[in-house]
Amino acid sequence: MSVPVTARAAVGALVLVLAGCGSVSPPRPAAELPLTLQRWSAADRTPEVDGAVPLQRWWTAFGDPGLTELVEAALAANPDLAGAAAAVAQARALRDVARAATGPAVDASAAVQRGRVGSAPAGTTVRAGLDAGWEVDWFGRRAAALRAGDADVAASEANLGLVRLTLAAEVAATYFEGWGARERLRVAQQSLAAQLDSLELTQWRVQAGLASALDLETARAAVEQTRASLPVLEVSVRQSMHALAVLTGRAPGAELPDPPAAAPAPPTAWTLPLPADVLRQRPDVAAAQARLQAAFARADQAEAARWPTLRLGGSLSLAAPRVSDLFDVTALTRALALNLAATVFDGGAAQAQARAQAAAAEQARAALAATLLEALRDVENALVALAGDRERLLRLQDAVAAARQAEQLATQRYAAGLIDYRALLDAQRTLLALQGDLAAARAAWAVDHVRLVKALGGGWSPTDAGPGPLAATVQP
User: Distance (Å, rounded) from C-alpha 307 to C-alpha 341?
Assistant: 9
Report the pLDDT value the prediction gives residue 302, as an integer from 0 to 100: 93
User: Distance (Å, rounded) from C-alpha 391 to C-alpha 389?
Assistant: 5
- Tell which residue, 61, 451, 39, has the closest CA to residue 271: 61
- Tell which residue, 386, 391, 390, has the closest CA to residue 449: 386
The mean predicted confidence, pLDDT, of the chain is 81
Report the domain count for the chain.
Answer: 1
Residue 166 lies in a domain: yes
Structural domain for 417, as ranges = 39-110+124-456
Which helix (H) or strand (E) segment is 328 a member of? Answer: none
Residue 426 lies in a domain: yes
pLDDT interval class at 96 (50, 70, 90): very high
pLDDT interval class at 273 (50, 70, 90): low
Residue 383 lies in a domain: yes
**CB-CB neighbours of 181 under 10 Å:** 24
User: Distance (Å, rounded) from C-alpha 291 to C-alpha 370?
Assistant: 13
Q: State if pTM tops 0.85.
A: no
**Helices then strands, each counted (H, E), the chain:** 9, 4
Residue 11 lies in a domain: no
CB under 8 Å, gap of 24 or more: what pairs does 139-143 form? 139/23, 139/24, 139/25, 139/304, 139/307, 140/22, 140/23, 140/24, 140/25, 140/300, 140/304, 141/301, 141/304, 141/305, 141/309, 142/98, 142/101, 142/102, 143/22, 143/23, 143/27, 143/102
Average pLDDT over residues 423-452: 93
Choice among 51-65, 352-366, 409-423 with the minimum mean pLDDT? 51-65
Residue 52 lies in a domain: yes
Residue predicted with more confidence, 117 or 46: 117
With beta carbons less than 8 A apart as the criterion, state whether 156 and 91 touch: yes
With beta carbons less than 8 A apart as the criterion, state whether 229 and 188 touch: yes
Q: Is the pLDDT reported for residue 117 higher than 90?
A: no
pLDDT in tens, 133-176: 888 888 999 999 999 999 999 999 999 999 999 999 999 999 99
Average pLDDT over residues 2-30: 38
Q: Is the pLDDT reported for residue 442 higher than 90?
A: yes
Residue 182 lies in a domain: yes
DSSP category for residue 53: B
pLDDT in tens, 225-262: 999 999 999 999 999 999 999 999 999 988 888 777 78
User: Distance (Å, rounded) from C-alpha 414 to C-alpha 197?
Assistant: 12
Residue 118 lies in a domain: no
Report the pLDDT value the prediction gives residue 379, as an integer from 0 to 100: 87
Q: Is the pLDDT reported for residue 462 higher than 90?
A: no
Task: Output the domain CATH number for residue 314.
Answer: 1.20.1600.10
Classify residue 141 as exposed, middle or buried by CB count within 10 Å of its CB (0-12, 13-18, 19+).
Answer: buried
Classify residue 16 as exposed, middle or buried by CB count within 10 Å of its CB (0-12, 13-18, 19+).
Answer: exposed
pLDDT in tens, 367-423: 999 999 999 899 889 889 988 999 999 999 999 999 999 999 999 998 888 888 889
Residue type at 89 in one-letter notation:
A
Report the pLDDT value the prediction gives residue 324, as an integer from 0 to 100: 67
Cross-strand partners of 315: 131, 335
